[in-house]
Amino acid sequence: EIVMTQSPATLSVSPGERATLSCRASQSVGSNLAWYQQKPGQAPRLLIYGASTRATGIPARFSGSGSGTEFTLTISSLQSEDFAVYYCQQYNNWPLTFGPGTKVDIK
Amino acid sequence: EVQLLESGGGLVQPGGSLRLSCAASEFTFSTYGMSWVRQAPGKGLEWVSCITASAGNTYYADSVQGRFTISRDNSKNTVYLQMSSLRAEDTAVYYCAKSWRANCYYMDVWGNGTTVTVSS
Contact residues of B toward A, CB < 8 A = 35, 37, 44-47, 50, 59-62, 95, 100, 104-113
Q: What are the Cα distances from residue A89, in Å, to A14, A37, B6, B12? A: 26, 11, 22, 30
pLDDT tens, residue by residue, A43-58: 999 999 999 999 999 9
Cα–Cα dist A24/A66, whole Å: 10
Judging contacts by C-beta atoms under 8 Å, the chain A residues touching residue B113 are 43
Per-residue tens of pLDDT for chain A, all 107 residues: 999 999 999 999 999 999 999 999 999 999 999 999 999 999 999 999 999 999 999 999 999 999 999 999 999 999 999 999 999 999 999 999 999 999 999 88
Closest CA to A29 of A54, A45, A58, A50: A50
pLDDT tens, residue by residue, B35-56: 999 999 999 999 999 999 987 7
Q: Nearest-CA distance from A49 to chain B in Å?
A: 7
Identify the H or E element spanning A21. Answer: strand A19-25
Q: What are the Cα distances from residue A67, in Å, to A5, A70, A75, B22? A: 15, 6, 18, 34
A38 φ/ψ angles, rounded to the nearest 5 degrees: -135, 125
